[in-house]
Amino acid sequence: MQRRTPNDCIMTDVWMTIGHNSINLSGLIVGGATFLIIIFGRWACIAGEYYFTKKLWIAFLISGIASLIASLLIETMIPASLLSIFGLTMLWGIHEIIEQEERVAKGWFPVNPKKKKQ
């Protein structure tokens, strides 16, 4: 088995050399970015329902599908992974934004006093 070097996967992986050893940082980058994308998705559901009502689910659907299609067209692994994670987070957000309205109705989250009742 031949050992991989940073030059072998310049287009797909992020490598860092420490002394004579090379380590692959791709997993850490994707993992950390996934964490941030999920936090953003959660915030978008809460803020979206607060300011725009659950009708914002259409924007979640469009951005989710567009991100998934874009991830299929990108050749490099990290951007494609991050776009697909973002797309799936937005699609999951459709369910969450509808649930968020129910959480507000139960009193678990504040009601926007400026928002018109449906």
**What does each C-alpha distance from 109 to 3, 25, 101, 105 come to in angstroms?**
53, 38, 9, 8
Task: For the chain, give the number of residues.
Answer: 118
What local confidence, expressed as pLDDT, does residue 113 receive? Answer: 83
44-48, 75-79, 85-89, 92-96: least confidently modelled range = 75-79
Q: Are 40 and 48 in contact (CB under 8 A)?
A: no
Neighbours of 89 (CB within 10 A): 23
- Class of residue 110 by CB neighbours under 10 A (exposed 0-12, middle 13-18, buried 19+): exposed
**Is residue 10 predicted with pLDDT exceeding 50?**
no
Strands 21-24 and 15-18: what pairing?
A: antiparallel
pTM: 0.79
**Residue where the block lists tokens 């989710």:** 64
pLDDT digits (tens, 9 = 90+) for 31-83: 999 999 999 999 999 999 999 888 899 999 999 999 999 999 998 889 999 99
pLDDT digits (tens, 9 = 90+) for 20-30: 677 778 889 99
- Provide CB contacts within 8 A for 40, sequence distance 6+: 89
